């Protein structure tokens, strides 16, 4: 029976499914509730595969896993920018991901759009204080707005289908255009999207080419009062530039499920800690910014899917078979 070292194991939602699928696949588990580091890398001794979430895997940690015989590293996420792929190649460790269905993130993105244009954060704050006045919380209707969708992969396409029911104009941008999208949206350049969109929602993977896609220059080209929504990757937005644009009123509202420098922060209880992310503290302080902790994906369906597929990929690697989830 092959073994898999599972890190960041959550007992309240993941443990049961890991046990179920490991039993079905004939896999032995070595589990750890903490993120992998040089101290607990020893738990992977004798394990052919390691299963993680969004914890950074740098060269040192990759070397530690390789030293202990790990051949395959899988992340229970779609994105894998937290993994040093160059180091993985160097040490001969294959890498896989576990894409989940697009509906959870797509639903969440539309929710953040609606919360932003209806000033829901401020409404909820007032209600908690029993302040039932109306001044300052007048919203806008989605049918009157133009929404720009950056990235038309599975999630972006689902967002566009969802938005089509609201009657808004939809703009789209992607390196690869989809015929399905063309039936509901107009493909435009980013420059044109910045000029025309009242709302911009991000659904692109993070790469060296689009790091800080939204920065001081792109923000200056956008409409006054533009709404920015990000459920993709924090590095797509320059937090400092966004804060300046919020302070000046250039950005009217933002809905952020991801932020820069979130690794090691989200999914942990930090209520007694001083956080080393000043930009996050500032963003949370704005009455027109809704921030959640990288959880747009988090549904009952997602939990089952990523555990099942991450372990199935491990089983295929152990058996020497083709693994459809392998990205390196």
Active site residues: 233, 262, 294
CA torsion sign for 242, 247, 251, 254 is positive
Distances (CA, A) of 139 to 134, 135, 136, 312: 10, 11, 9, 47
Distance CA 21, CA 260 (A): 34
Distances (CA, A) of 147 to 45, 110, 132, 171: 50, 11, 30, 6
CB 35 within 8 A of CB 8: yes
- Show the 3-state SS of the chain: CCEEEECCCCCCCCHHHHHHHHHHHCCEEEECCCCCCCCCHHHHCCCCEEEECCCCECHHHHHHHHHCCCCEEEECCCCCCCECHHHHHHCCCEEECCCCCCHHHHHHHHHHHHHHHCCHHHHHHHHHCCCCCCCCCCCCCHHHCEEEEECCCHHHHHHHHHHHCCCCEEEEECCCCCHHHHCCCEECCHHHHHHHCCEEEECCCCCCCCCCCECHHHHHHCCCCEEEEECCCHHHECHHHHHHHHHHCCEEEEEECCCCCCCCCCCCCCCCCCCCCHHHHHHHHCCCEEECCCCCCCCHHHHHHHHHHHHHHHHHHHCCCCCCCECC
């Amino acid at each position: 029976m092959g073994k898999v070292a599972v890190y960041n194991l959550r007992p309240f939602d993941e443990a049961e499914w890991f046990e179920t699928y490991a039993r079905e696949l004939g896999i032995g588990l070595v589990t750890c509730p903490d993120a992998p580091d040089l101290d607990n890398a020893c738990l992977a001794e004798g394990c052919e595969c390691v299963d993680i979430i969004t914890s950074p895997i740098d060269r040192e940690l990759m070397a530690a896993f390789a030293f202990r015989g790990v051949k395959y590293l899988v992340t229970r996420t779609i994105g894998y920018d937290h993994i040093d792929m160059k180091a993985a190649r160097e040490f001969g460790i294959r890498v896989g991901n576990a894409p989940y269905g697009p509906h959870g993130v797509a639903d969440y993105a539309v929710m953040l759009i609606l919360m932003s244009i209806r000033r829901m954060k401020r409404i909820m704050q007032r209600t908690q204080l029993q302040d039932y006045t109306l001044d300052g919380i007048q919203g806008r209707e989605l049918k009157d707005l133009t929404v720009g969708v950056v990235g038309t992969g599975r999630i972006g396409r689902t967002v566009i289908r969802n938005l089509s029911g609201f009657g808004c104009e939809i703009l789209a941008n992607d390196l690869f255009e989809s015929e399905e999208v063309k039936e509901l949206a107009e493909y435009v350049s980013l420059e044109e999207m910045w000029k025309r969109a009242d709302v911009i929602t991000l659904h692109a993977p993070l790469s060296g080419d689009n790091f800080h896609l939204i920065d001081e220059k792109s923000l200056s080209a956008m409409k006054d009062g533009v709404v920015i929504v990000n459920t993709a990757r924090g590095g797509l937005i320059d937090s400092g530039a966004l804060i300046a644009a919020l302070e000046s009123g250039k950005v009217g509202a933002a809905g952020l499920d991801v932020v820069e420098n979130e690794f090691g922060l989200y999914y942990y209880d930090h209520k007694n800690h001083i956080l080393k992310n000043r930009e996050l503290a500032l963003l949370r302080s704005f009455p027109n910014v809704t921030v959640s902790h990288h959880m747009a994906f988090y549904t009952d369906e997602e939990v089952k899917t990523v555990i099942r597929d991450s372990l199935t990929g491990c089983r295929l690697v152990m058996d020497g078979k083709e693994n459809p989830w392998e990205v390196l």
